[in-house]
A and B are shown apart, each in its own frame.
Chain A
Amino acid sequence: MFSRFFNNRNTLGLMFMLPAAALLLLFLTYPLGLGTWLGFTDAKIGRAGVWVGLDNFIYLIGDSVAQLSLFNTLFYTIVASILKFALGLWLALLLNEHLPFKSFFRAVILLPFIVPTALSAIAFWWIYDSQFSIISWTLKEMGLIDRYIDFLGEPWLARLSTVAANVWRGVPFVAICLLAGLQTISPTLYEAAALDGATPMQRFRYVTLPLLTPIIAVVMTFSVLFTFTDFQLIYVLTRGGPLNATHLMATLSFQRAISGGSLGEGAALATLMIPFLLAAILFSYFGLQRRAWQQGGSDK
């Protein structure tokens, strides 16, 4: 009787799910709901708030810093994602070649993705330093500039510098994932295309790209998601400065909620990120999902 009870798949399934479900419900689902609710209150640190309706959202929509942070986030996400995709695909194609020490290269290239972002960001902070930047030093020695570049001191330079650091960290991820996709494409397809007289460009366009689309969709969804919600890199490099020019929505919500103490406002800002994330997920799901012919089926 007892053993029958434990072999019932529903009871047993429930018991097996219990540890994971308990942790996730308490620390993921509940906070997700709580965060949305907090966005509608005027909660401060150490004081439970009362319902204020859409006040936080109305205030944020009219707030010039919040508007700027939305612009920065979109700029940061779009530019960095495009660069990560282009460079990542290029690197994946290079690594897919017949190379000596290929596995060594592949291992080393992933290093920027492995080490803690906060720590590699410190290295970038030093590389971007206004007085001792190694980039400025090199350019000056080459006679290309005569004053040290203040990478993190001017709004547009700072935006581009943070994008560069983000791309540096993200390219290995995109490249290694796309490489895994490239390796599943059979070489016979290329040989057949070559025999039919396809140029290298055509082979890339009509063989590689269509077969790679499903994995590109997934990889770029993840990449966009991580870039849009990035926090550490900006927090370490600029803290949102100069003149809020690099504030992302995540760093601004940290500043408002934790440093400033207005939990409600910060939570509202974080909630505002959700529609964008959903849009990115839906876009990649519907726009780039697997087609039947990519899996060997016939076109509809």
Chain B
Amino acid sequence: MAKKQTDRDGMVYLVSLPRRAVTLYVPLGVFLFVLLFPFYWMAITSFKPDSELLSHTGNPFWVIQPTFAHFKKLLFGTPYPDWMLNTVIASVVATFVSLVASVFAAYAIERLRFQGAKQVGLAVFLAYLVPPSILFIPLAAIVFKLGLFDTRWALILTYPTFLIPFCTWLLMGYFRSIPYELEECALIDGATRWQILVKIILPLAVPGLISAGIFAFTLSWNEFIYALTFVSSSEVKTVPVGVITELVEGDVYHWGALMAGALLGSLPVAILYSFFVEHYVSGMTGAVKE
């Protein structure tokens, strides 16, 4: 493991090609194969006809007669399109609400520096460490009491509990990197705090906003335990919960349809991610590095 440390950019020439192949390319290839194989397997299974899926002969790594039957069943024979719509609505609205609340909170903590701002900043970080698995039981009771059980609002209002702490923490880091002088100039010119936030800070923090937004969107898209607990009828389920609870029927698993459902449910986040890789990575590492 340690050997690889030698070939930093400046000293690469000291390592021979065969050695580099063994210490670098082979392990990297194995990593790539293991990390990506489940996706390949998911995709290839969703195009296989049932006869190929359940046969023990032939090469299982390839599909001989690709079929769209599983996708067709999924889209027209199940409430899958509804689940997709619910997931999109819940994720987009929760992300938007969280971003707005986080921008204000982060600006107040980082730049207004009201009394106790430091303690509030710490509290936000601690809130980020509270896992949903210890919150879902009391939250279920609250959701029920508020009459939100089995509605989209249950998801839209509870997702911000893990989105706001994360986004606020991330945006605090971005706001910190914007020079004070810009704000002071604007204050001298007579701008109000609101104008400063909207006209100076926000345009400069666009990369941070994108990072926070993308990350928040994928987090809410992936959310499982709240959606499983707070929603019970098929029309309001999200994709992960719908696939797990409704496509698995009895002892006969419809692997083709399950894999098609998993594939279609993963694609939106994967595509979004592919457009904003750098923002996503900087959001993830930024939140950890602070």
Residues of A within 8 A of B (CB): 3, 6-7, 9-10, 12-14, 16-21, 23-24, 26-32, 34-35, 38, 43, 87, 89-91, 93-99, 103, 105-112, 114-120, 122-124, 126-127, 129, 132, 134, 137, 168, 171-173, 176-177, 180-181, 187, 190-191, 194, 200-201, 203-205, 207-208, 215, 218-219, 222, 225-226, 228-232, 235-236, 250, 253-254, 257-258, 263, 266-267, 270-271, 273-274, 277, 281
Contacts and interface: CB of A to CB of B under 8 A. Distances in A.
B28 A105 contact: yes
Contacts of A99: 24, 28
Contact of B157 (A27, A119, A172): A27
A115 B269 contact: yes
B64 interface: no
Contact of B114 (A9, A30, A267): A9
23 contacts: A9-B114, A13-B112, A19-B105, A20-B164, A27-B158, A28-B135, A31-B142, A32-B134, A35-B137, A93-B5, A111-B273, A115-B222, A117-B224, A118-B241, A122-B262, A132-B53, A177-B288, A190-B6, A205-B2, A218-B288, A231-B133, A254-B136, A258-B229
A24 B39 contact: no
Interface in B126-174: 127, 129-142, 157-158, 160-161, 164-165, 168
Interface residues of B, number: 100
Contacts of A208: 5
A116 B160 contact: no
Interface in B33-72: 34-36, 38-39, 41-42, 45, 53-54, 56, 60-61
A105 B32 contact: yes
B9 A171 contact: no
Contact of B36 (A9, A108, A114, A180): A108
A126 B255 contact: yes
A16 B104 contact: yes
B240 A119 contact: yes
Nearest to B222: A116
Given A107-B274, A122-B244, A266-B137, A127 B38 contact: yes
B105 A21 contact: yes
B139 A226 contact: no
Given A19-B101, A30-B142, A218-B288, A122 B259 contact: yes
Contacts of B140: 257-258, 263
A201 B132 CA distance: 41
B274 to A, nearest CB: 7
Contacts of B209: none
A274 B134 contact: yes
Interface of B: 1-12, 24, 27-28, 31-32, 34-36, 38-39, 41-42, 45, 53-54, 56, 60-61, 97, 100-102, 104-105, 107-109, 112-115, 117, 120, 127, 129-142, 157-158, 160-161, 164-165, 168, 192-194, 218, 221-222, 224-225, 228-229, 239-241, 243-244, 255, 258-259, 261-262, 265-266, 269-270, 273-274, 277, 280-281, 284-285, 288-289
Contact of B222 (A34, A35, A117): A117
Contacts of B240: 116-119, 232
A3 B32 contact: no
Contacts of A180: 281, 285, 288-289
Contact of A222 (B35, B222, B277, B288): B288
B281 A109 contact: no
Nearest to B108: A16
B117 to A, nearest CB: 7
A231 to B, nearest CB: 5
B214 to A, nearest CB: 10
Given A35-B137, A112-B35, A180-B289, A23 B108 contact: no
B284 A173 contact: yes
A232 B133 CA distance: 10
A203 B41 contact: no
A12 B135 contact: no
A168 B38 contact: yes
Contacts of A137: 56, 60
A171 B38 CA distance: 15
Contacts of B142: 26-27, 30-31, 34
A267 B138 contact: yes
A30 B139 CA distance: 9
A237 to B, nearest CB: 11
Contact of A126 (B39, B41, B136): B41
A14 B258 contact: no
Contacts of A123: 38-39, 41-42, 259, 262
Contact of B284 (A93, A168, A177): A177
Contacts of B165: 24, 28
B135 A97 contact: no
A110 B193 contact: no
Nearest to A267: B137
